[in-house]
Chains A and B, each alone.
Chain A
Amino acid sequence: MIRIIQPGTFTTVQDLRRVGFQSSGVPECGAVDKFSMRCANLLVGNDDSDPVLEMTIFGPQITFENPAVVAVAGANLTPLLNGEPVDNWMALPVEAGATLSFGGPISGARAYLAFAGGIKSPSVSEVMGSYSTYVPGAFGGFEGRPLKAGDELYIGETNSYEFRQMQLCSPPDFSDIAVLRILPGPQNHLFTDDAIEVLSNSDYQVSVDSDRMGIRLDGNTLTHLDSPDVVSDGTAFGTIQVPGSGLPIILSADRGTTGGYPKIATVITADHSMLGQLLPGDTLRFSVVNRESALKALREQERMLDSLREAPTVSSVVEVSGETVDVVGDNGQRFALDGVVRRFNALVKQGDQYLEDFEVDIKD
C-alpha cells in the first residue's frame, strides 16, 4: 500500500483509454502521453495498459508501506527517493517505509508513475471498461477525482513480480521547442487557402487555459472562409479545431466527444505524447507530413516499446566473459542488444561466480 502525503498539482489514476462510450458522450480519457505511460508500465514488468499515476508539473509525495518496484517516465519532475535524486525511465526497487517525492519540473509537464503489479482494487475499479479518471464527470480511477493528502492506494506486491532493470537509451526530450507533425483535414477546405501555410510557418505559444481537454494556443490567427460554426461532429485525439477567435485548440484525452468548430488538421498519433508534455508559455510549431511518415514514426515508437517488452527481467543473468557481454533471459534465451538497452545492473555472472551490484555499460 502507498500513502499520499502531498498530492501534487494534479495527480490522477489513468490507463490507456476508455473505449466504446463516445456515442454516449463519454470522453476517452486515459494518459495524455501514452508512450511514457506505457514505458513506465513495461519497465516494471506490467502490461502496458495497466493503470498508473499521471502527475502534472509538481508531483506528489508518497510513502510506501511495503517494498515495491516503481518506474517514473515522461516529464522530468525531479524524482527523489528518500530525498536522493533518482533517474526517470528506469525501474527502481523501493523499500518499505521509503518516500518518493518530486522536486519540481525540469522539462515536460506530465510524468507517469507505474507500480510493479499495478494499482489494485478496492482502491480503483474499472468504470466503463477503464481505470481512467474523468474528473469533470467524477468517475473512474480513485473515487473519480485527483488524489489528495491521506489517500491510500493498494499496489502490487513486489516479491512475485519481475521487472526490467534497464533504461531507455534515447528517451524523448521535452526541453526543445516541440514540433508537432500534422495531417491536414478533415475541414481545411473551410479556411482560406493560406491557412495551412500560416499554421505551419508560425510559432504558437501554449496558453494557460490548457488542460487534459485541450491545448489552447496563442499566435497567428487562421481565417475561416465562412462561419466558424459547423454542424457538431465527432472529434479525435490531436484534432486541431479553430473557433471564431481564429486561434487553434488541439484536442486531447478528455476532449468532448462532439465539436462544432471547423477542424483544420490533426496531430499524428506518434506526436500525441508531446501534447501531454507542453507547459503554458511553451513554444511549438506545426509541420505538415504525409500518412507514410506518420505511420513510420508510430512504428518506431512501437519498436522501442517492443524492445522494452522483450528485455530480460531482473531474474536474468548477465554473463561477462572477456570483452563480450551477453544477456540471458529466464528461459536461457540470449537477447541481442540493439542499442535500446544502455545499462543493466541486475545479477551478473563471471565464470561460475555471481557478482553483486555489478553495473555493465553496453556500447550502442
Chain B
Amino acid sequence: MIMVSESKDSSGAFPQITNIGDSALMVLIGEGVNPVINNVVHEVVRKIRDSEWPGIREVVPVYSSFVVHYDPFKLSPVPLATFIEEIYESVDSGKTSSVRKVILPTLYGGAFGPDLDSVGELTGCSAKEIINIHTDTDYLVYALGFSPGFPYLGDLDSRLHCPRLDSPRVEVPAGSVAIAETQTGVYPVPSPGGWRLIGRTPVLLFDPLEDDPALLKPGDRLRFEAIESEKEYKEIESKCRSGEFVPEVIDL
C-alpha cells in the first residue's frame, strides 16, 4: 500500500514519499549524510531517469533524498510513488552501476591557497602534511548545489578539521579548493565564501556554454592531485581553455 502523505509517516520505513505542493514528490531514502544511502539515491534516480516515464520533468538527488518534479496533468502522486517504490525495491543497496573518479590537479599554498598557513596553525600540521592528507582521499560527490557546479564532498580527514573564517571573503576565485569544519569543497564559479582556501585548480568545473556544463556529477569520486609549480598551473590552465587538457576521468 503506497501512501503519499502531506508529511512523513512515523513508521520509519523507507522510502518515505511526501508531496511538495501539487507537482513534485520528495523521496527520503534514509536519514543523515551516509555514503551507502547516497549510493541508493543515485541508483534509484538513475533508474527513474532511464525509464523516461512520461510526465516526469526532472529528478534532483541530494544527500539522502531526491525530488521528482512532474507534470500534474500527466501524472498523479500515487501511481508515481508506486513506481518509485518498485524501483527502490529493485535496487541492490550494495551495488553501484558505474562510478567515475575525476582527478583535479591542484596547486596548494601561496597566493592560490592563502589560508594554508592558518590551517597549519589551527591543525598543527605542516604544509606538506596538509597536502598529503588532502590528496590521499577519494571524496564522494554527494550532490551538487549551493551554486552551479558546486560539489558537496564527503568526509574530510579529521586531522584537517578547522573552523570557518571569522569574516567571509567577498569573492573567492573560481577553482579555489577549500576546507571548513568537517567539509572540503571547490568553488566552480567566483562567489562569496567563508571556507579556508588551501589551493586552486586550473580546471574549469562549470561552463554554462557546454551541453554538459558541470564537470562533476552526483555520485562521482573526486581526488585532488598536487601540482608542483605556478608554471605547471598556468600550462594546465591555458591547455584547459584551448581544449588540449581534459581532467582525467576514470571509470571505476
Contact between chains at B67 and A233 (CB < 8 Å) = yes
Give the complex CA separation of A231 and B63 in angstroms: 7
Contact between chains at A186 and B18 (CB < 8 Å) = yes
A268 contact from B21, B144, B147, Cβ within 8 A? B21
> Smallest Cβ distance from A178 to chain B, in angstroms?
17
Contact between chains at A257 and B20 (CB < 8 Å) = no
Give the complex CA separation of A28 and B23 in angstroms: 14
Q: Which of B159-193 contact A (CB under 8 A)?
A: 189
Contact between chains at B7 and A139 (CB < 8 Å) = no
Contact between chains at B6 and A183 (CB < 8 Å) = yes
Beyond A186-B18, A232-B152, is A25–B64 a contact (Cβ under 8 Å)?
A: no
B153 within 8 A of A: no
- Taking CB atoms, residues of chain B closer than 8 Å to A295 are 22, 72
Give the complex CA separation of A293 and B183 in angstroms: 44
Chain A 160-188 interface mask (CB, 8 Å, partner B; 1/0): 00000000000000000000000111111
Instruction: Identify the stretch in A56-64, A99-107, A234-242 within 8 Å (CB) of chain B at 4 or more residues.
Output: A234-242
Max count, chain B CB within 10 A of own CB: residue among A23, A140, A238: A23
> Smallest Cβ distance from A292 to chain B, in angstroms?
10
Contact between chains at B144 and A19 (CB < 8 Å) = no
- Taking CB atoms, residues of chain B closer than 8 Å to A263 are 20
Chain B 138-167 interface mask (CB, 8 Å, partner A; 1/0): 000001111111101000000000000000
Beyond A128-B208, A183-B6, A187-B8, is A236–B23 a contact (Cβ under 8 Å)?
A: yes
Q: Which of B1-48 contact A (CB under 8 A)?
A: 5-8, 18-24, 26, 28, 31-33
Contact between chains at A236 and B8 (CB < 8 Å) = no
Contact between chains at A269 and B22 (CB < 8 Å) = yes
Q: Which of A171-217 contact B (CB under 8 A)?
A: 183-189
- Taking CB atoms, residues of chain B closer than 8 Å to A24 are 144, 148-149, 206, 213-214, 217
Contact between chains at B20 and A137 (CB < 8 Å) = no
Contact between chains at B21 and A238 (CB < 8 Å) = yes
Chain B 51-83 interface mask (CB, 8 Å, partner A; 1/0): 000000111111111110100110001000000
Q: Which of A52-84 contact B (CB under 8 A)?
A: none
Give the complex CA separation of A266 and B214 in angstroms: 29
A184 contact from B7, B26, B67, Cβ within 8 A? B7
- Taking CB atoms, residues of chain A closer than 8 Å to B213 are 21, 24, 26, 128
Max count, chain A CB within 10 A of own CB: residue among B67, B145, B209: B145
* B→A interface (CB under 8 Å): 5-8, 18-24, 26, 28, 31-33, 57-67, 69, 72-73, 77, 143-150, 152, 189, 206, 208-209, 213-214, 217-218
A6 within 8 A of B: no
B209's nearest neighbour on chain A, judged by CB, is: A127
Kindly list 8 other residue pairs between chains A and B, CB separation below 8 angstroms, not including A23-B144, A183-B19: A19-B57, A22-B58, A184-B7, A233-B65, A236-B69, A256-B146, A258-B62, A266-B24
A184's nearest neighbour on chain B, judged by CB, is: B6
Contact between chains at B143 and A232 (CB < 8 Å) = yes
A291 contact from B22, B28, B147, B148, Cβ within 8 A? B22
- Taking CB atoms, residues of chain A closer than 8 Å to B218 are 23
Contact between chains at A137 and B58 (CB < 8 Å) = no
A294 within 8 A of B: yes
B25's nearest neighbour on chain A, judged by CB, is: A186
With contacts defined as CB atoms under 8 Å apart, how many contacts are there between chain A and chain B in the complex? Answer: 151
- Interface bracket on A: 35 or more
Contact between chains at B208 and A137 (CB < 8 Å) = yes
Contact between chains at A266 and B208 (CB < 8 Å) = no
A240's nearest neighbour on chain B, judged by CB, is: B21
Contact between chains at B21 and A236 (CB < 8 Å) = yes
Contact between chains at A233 and B72 (CB < 8 Å) = no
B16's nearest neighbour on chain A, judged by CB, is: A186
Contact between chains at B7 and A185 (CB < 8 Å) = yes
- Taking CB atoms, residues of chain A closer than 8 Å to B149 are 24-26
Max count, chain A CB within 10 A of own CB: residue among B59, B62, B144: B62
Contact between chains at B6 and A188 (CB < 8 Å) = yes
Give the complex CA separation of A219 and B61 in angstroms: 33
Give the complex CA separation of A288 and B96 in angstroms: 42
- Taking CB atoms, residues of chain B closer than 8 Å to A294 are 21-22
Contact between chains at B65 and A234 (CB < 8 Å) = yes
- Taking CB atoms, residues of chain B closer than 8 Å to A134 are 148
Beyond A20-B58, A23-B59, A183-B19, is A188–B189 a contact (Cβ under 8 Å)?
A: no
Give the complex CA separation of A21 and B147 in angstroms: 12
A348 within 8 A of B: no
Chain A 252-277 interface mask (CB, 8 Å, partner B; 1/0): 00001110000100111100000000
- Taking CB atoms, residues of chain A closer than 8 Å to B63 are 231-233
A185's nearest neighbour on chain B, judged by CB, is: B6
> Smallest Cβ distance from A339 to chain B, in angstroms?
23
A362 within 8 A of B: no
Give the complex CA separation of A186 and B77 in angstroms: 13
Contact between chains at A239 and B148 (CB < 8 Å) = no
Contact between chains at B72 and A25 (CB < 8 Å) = no
> Smallest Cβ distance from B219 to chain A, in angstroms?
10
B145's nearest neighbour on chain A, judged by CB, is: A258
Contact between chains at B19 and A139 (CB < 8 Å) = no
- Taking CB atoms, residues of chain A closer than 8 Å to B189 are 137
Chain A 108-145 interface mask (CB, 8 Å, partner B; 1/0): 00000000000000000001100000101101100010
- Taking CB atoms, residues of chain A closer than 8 Å to B60 are 22-23, 234, 257
> Smallest Cβ distance from B36 to chain A, in angstroms?
14
- Taking CB atoms, residues of chain A closer than 8 Å to B23 are 236, 269
A25 contact from B28, B69, B150, Cβ within 8 A? B150
Contact between chains at B72 and A269 (CB < 8 Å) = yes
Beyond A189-B7, A189-B8, A236-B67, is A25–B214 a contact (Cβ under 8 Å)?
A: yes
